[in-house]
Amino acid sequence: MDPVTDSLDEVHRRLAGLRDGEVADYIPELAGADPDDFGIALVSMAGRTYRTGRADTPFTLQSVSKPFVYALALSDHGVDEVLRRVGVEPSGDAFNAISLEPGTGRPANPMVNAGAIATTALVRADGADDRFRRILARLSAFAGRELDVDEAVYASEAATGDRNRALAYLMRSAGSLRADPEETVDTYFRQCAVRVTTADLAVMAATLADGGRNPVTGVRVVSEPDAVRTLAVMATCGMYDGAGRWMLDVGLPAKSGVSGGLIAAGPARFGVAVHSPPLDASGNSVRGVAALRAMAERFGLHIMHSP
Ligand code: GLN
């Protein structure tokens, strides 16, 4: 076996017995996830995939969709226009917090739900169907294969997602969301329900790490400046109220989601992904965080580290 797979195997073996955390159940359909699902994948800039554990088990993107849709909004409007509508300051709050700027109602950043919903509304389209079609096409380009929606998870979140609906209505009343709240939230729920595997997520992260070019397919998915901006926002806001500690310990731009997915990117080096459903209090995968900590320490991955 090659040394990279060896190391991933070793980390996987060490953490498979970790029993901390809770599987998210506020979206009822997610509650049935197997807490023992645990996959790790890494994609190099040469486009080679290394994997260990259950790296081909499907699960939904949830908040891991946020940076990729932000990159799409940046390519549609440019950074200045997007900044007028969604901030880039870490909120220090939970992912579902009402983190809106007093007065303007502008959401703190695109990685918390309010900012992600506002970002989804920014995607240029001719109606809601076209907007989701463009989002799905872009997510698929990041992954290098055609992705689809887990309809059961989508329906489950659509039936219970009143907090996100409330956020959209609040933004609408403050003037920071100009689109229809119901339609926007529906598109956001669909984007969260896009189905991926750990191996897909590693390719998606590697595409950001490679300056917006998918290293497996060779396709340019976003411009280099927009890939860099997306990574910057992931670095400051991707782990919610755990973002500061994450930067201290792991030091990589990252994004987590409530189905237990976690991506991290080593700029110009690799994309890595972990999937394990049990979450910590911030909504980040317990094994995911532990795995990235172990890898960062072992390989000196911190972006502030000089080799
Ligand atoms: N769809 C989820 C929600 O909006 C995403 C949250 C997450 O993954 N942290 O609540």
How far apart are the CA of 61 and the centre of ligand 1, in A? 9
Domain co-membership, 224 together with 239: yes
Q: Which of 177, 192, 207 is the last residue of a domain?
A: 192
Question: Which of 192, 207, 230 lies at the terminal end of a domain, its last residue?
Answer: 192
In a domain, 44, yes or no: yes
pLDDT of 307 > 80? The answer is no
Of 192, 218, 235, which one is at a domain's C-terminal end?
192
- Residue 58 CA, ligand 1 centroid: distance in Å: 17
Ligand 1 close to Cβ of residue 164 (< 6 A): yes
> What is the per-residue pLDDT for 102?
87
Atom of ligand 1 nearest to the CA of 63: 8
Same domain, 80 and 184: yes
Using most ligand atoms within 8 A of CB, pick from 22, 59, 60, 62 the residue to mutate for ligand 1.
62
155 alpha carbon – ligand 1 mean position (Å): 14
Q: Which residues are annotated as a binding site?
A: 63, 113, 157, 164, 188, 240, 258
Residues 242 and 258 in one domain: yes
CATH of the domain at 107: 3.40.710.10
Q: Is residue 304 part of a domain?
A: no
Whether 250 contacts 293, CB under 8 Å? yes
Question: Does the Cβ of 96 fall within 6 Å of ligand 1?
Answer: yes
Kindly provide the ipTM of the predicted complex, given to two decimals.
Answer: 0.97
Tell me whether residue 30 is in a domain: yes
305 belongs to a structural domain: no
Task: Decide if 307 is inside a domain.
Answer: no
**185 and 95 in one domain?**
yes
65 lines ligand 1 (CB under 6 A): no
Where are the extended beta strands (E) located within 146-275? 148-149, 194-196, 254-256, 261-266, 270-275
- What pLDDT shows up at residue 103? 82
With respect to residue 15, please indicate whether it lies within any of the assigned structural domains.
yes
What mean pLDDT comes out for the span 171-187?
A: 96
pLDDT tens digits, 91-135: 877 888 888 888 888 999 999 999 999 999 999 999 999 999 999
In a shared domain, residues 44 and 125: no
| 159 and 109 co-located in one domain | yes
Is the CB of 277 within 6 Å of ligand 1? no
Based on the fold, state whether residues 137 and 227 are members of the same structural domain: no
**85 and 137 in a common domain:** yes
- Residue positions annotated with a catalytic role: 63, 66, 188, 240, 258
Closest CA to 249 of 276, 204, 288: 288
- Residue 186 CA to ligand 1 center (angstroms) comes to 13
Q: Are 206 and 133 found together in one domain?
A: no
Q: Is residue 215, in this structure, part of any structural domain at all? A: yes
Annotated binding-site residues for substrate read 63, 113, 157, 164, 188, 240, 258
Whether 197 has a pLDDT exceeding 90, the answer reads yes
Q: Let me know whether 54 and 69 are in one domain.
A: no
Mean pLDDT calculated for residue range 283-295: 96
Residue-wise pLDDT tens digits, 33-87? 999 999 999 999 999 999 999 999 999 999 999 999 999 999 999 999 999 999 9
Residues 175 and 212 reside in one and the same domain: no
Residue 4 tokens, joined? 């990279």
Instruction: Tell me which residue has tokens 């997610």.
Output: 30
Residue nearest to atom 4 of ligand 1 (CA): 113
How far away, in angstroms, is 258 Cα from ligand 1 center? 6
49 CB near ligand 1 (under 6 Å): no
Alpha-carbon span 259 to 95, nearest angstrom: 13
- 113 and 187 in a single domain? The answer is yes
For residue 92, the enclosing domain spans 63-192
* pLDDT tops 90 at residue 21: yes
Q: 258 in ligand 1 pocket by Cβ < 6 Å?
A: yes
Residue 192 in contact with ligand 1 by CB distance below 6 A: yes
> Half-sphere exposure of residue 188, counting CA atoms within 13 Å on the CB side?
32
The total number of structural domains in the chain stands at: 2
In our burial notation (b when 16+ CB lie closer than 10 A, e otherwise), range 29-66 reads bbeebeeebbbbbbbbbebebbbbbbbeeebbbbbbbb
Structural domain contains residue 45 = yes
